Structure 1
Amino acid sequence: MSEKTASVHWEGSGKKGLGQISTETGALQGYPYGFASRFEDDRKGTNPEEILAAAHAACFTMAFSFACDKAGFATGSLDTQASVRLVPEGDAFVIDRIALTLKASVPGIDEARFQEIAASAKRDCPLSKALASVAEISLQATLDNAGA
């Protein structure tokens, strides 16, 4: 069993307020976020969608590596990007899409097996399961063994 924690301290109203996000490990320690970093182009803070994207990319990448290990393939380098889209829905907002993009070096694997393992990792990673209410979670997986 594993349980991780994060905390937020917020002061002020919705649009004018500011928050600070901290994680148990200290990876984020009082890191700022607010309306401008979430809905405008303020790059001085983070936002929940960016943090969710980082978490999903990290979880999927580990799930893919473990799935390759189990199938007898050692992974070389893995680069994953996740893009989380937040859209208006009525008077609120909803995350309607997460797009995962994987570029991987997996020596000795063929394209069909690579795509099969990538799809299963997307389906089986704990964050994909937790995010099952998101209407679309896509994956574009590219095998790049040129350097292997």
Structure 2
Amino acid sequence: MNRKARAVWQGTGKDGSGQLTSDSGVLSSTPYSFKTRFENEKGTNPEELIAAAHAGCFTMALAFQLQGAGFTPTELATEAVVSIEQQGDGFVITKSALTLNADVPGIDRAKFEELARAAEKNCPVSKVLNAEISMNFTLA
């Protein structure tokens, strides 16, 4: 399986701008620029997209872990915060911090943590990130 997205950029790194488009159409000429990445201008940026991918991947992986163990979540809500830091002349994504709020009837905290840690470690986005990954959770 392959998934595709395209980026088109015009201008310099700091003053230029670009658009991101995905084959699914979810991103359709979505703007990104220096200002959307390092300031707060409206648009997206690579780190925000990685955070969304990591939150979505982990949450789905956890749903499969729970299903395999015989549990059906009422809700799994995950926030991912991706950190980018300057190192030398460039920037590095250093962390992805997952915060999960879960409502899973009939599960005890120890079993939930075991399954959540497995999802954190084994979701494909976690495996591709060369960054520190942390996961905290609240179980209703």
In structure 2, the residue corresponding to 1:81 is in which secondary structure? Answer: strand
Q: Residue 5 of structure 2 aligns with which residue?
A: 6
Q: How many pairs align?
A: 140
Q: 1:106 aligns with which of 88, 104, 107?
A: 104
> Quick check: 1:52 aligned with 2:61?
no
Instruction: Normalising by structure 2, report the TM-score.
Output: 0.98
* Residue 77 (structure 2) aligned to one of 76, 79, 93: 79
Q: TM-score with structure 1 length normalisation?
A: 0.93
Identity of aligned residues (%): 51
Q: Does 1:137 align with 2:133?
A: yes
For residue 116 of structure 2, the aligned residue among 110, 115, 118 is 118
| Secondary structure at the counterpart of residue 133 of structure 2 | strand
Deviation at 1:142, TM superposition (A): 1.1
Distance 1:41 1:67 in 2: 36
* Large movers: runs of 4+ above 6 Å: none
Provide the aligned C-alpha RMSD in A: 0.6
Deviation (angstroms), 1:16: 0.6
Aligned-partner SS, 2:73 = coil
CA distance in 1, matches of 2:62, 2:75: 12
Of 44, 65, 68, which residue of structure 2 is paired with 1:67? 65
Structure 2 residue identity aligned to 1:139 = M
- 1:32 corresponds in structure 2 to 31
Could you tell me which amino acid in structure 2 is paired with residue 24 of structure 1? Answer: D
